[in-house]
Amino acid sequence: MIAHETRVRARYAETDQMGVVYYANYFVWMEVGRNELCRANGMRYRDMEAADGVRLAVAEATCRYSFPAHYDEEVTIKAWITEANSRMVRFGYEISSAETGRKLVTGETKHIFCNREMKPAKLPAKYYPLFGIK
């Protein structure tokens, strides 16, 4: 799975009274980024959930903020896989201004593969290629 870029525009709802995008909302954008990364690689997360009961439970999430996004600014969310095995997957993210190219934030999330009951479970082998697992 190679890196993928998605674009979103900052919503009024996502700003706070400091006049910039509220810090927790970058994690929502990361979710958009990893969802579209999967789609671009031929897999929809919703299908993986529905067909095989595979769920990704978030174990860690980090964001480093360099520069804030502003209302109505279009941003580019770059997402990619940094590490994966049958038990877990790590995604990396870089969010930058689509208008100026300036880097806004970088982030990572780590997810544990779980079954429908949200218990840790090995990823079905058919998904190995998607995540680059050998």
**Which residues are annotated as catalytic?**
16
List all residues 6 or more positions away from 72 whose beta carbon is below 8 Å from its beta carbon. 9, 10
CB 115 → a copy of itself: shortest distance, Å? 12
CB 35 → a copy of itself: shortest distance, Å? 7
The DSSP element (H or E) to which 128 belongs, if any, is helix 128-131
DSSP strands (E only) in 2-120: 4-9, 55-65, 74-84, 88-97, 103-114
Instruction: Report the interface residues with a copy of itself, using CB under 8 A.
Output: 11-13, 15-20, 22-25, 27-28, 31-32, 35, 44-46, 55, 57-65, 68, 70-72, 109, 118
Report the residue number, 58 or 122, with the smaller CB distance to a copy of itself. Answer: 58
Going by the DSSP 8-state scheme, the letter that residue 120 receives in this structure is B
Report the residue number, 43 or 133, with the smaller CB distance to a copy of itself. Answer: 43
Report the residue number, 72 or 82, with the smaller CB distance to a copy of itself. Answer: 72
**Phi/psi of residue 75, nearest 5 degrees:** -120, 155
CA distances in angstroms from 100 to 20, 68, 96, listed in the order given: 16, 13, 8
CB 64 → a copy of itself: shortest distance, Å? 5
Residue labelled with tokens 């689509």: 98
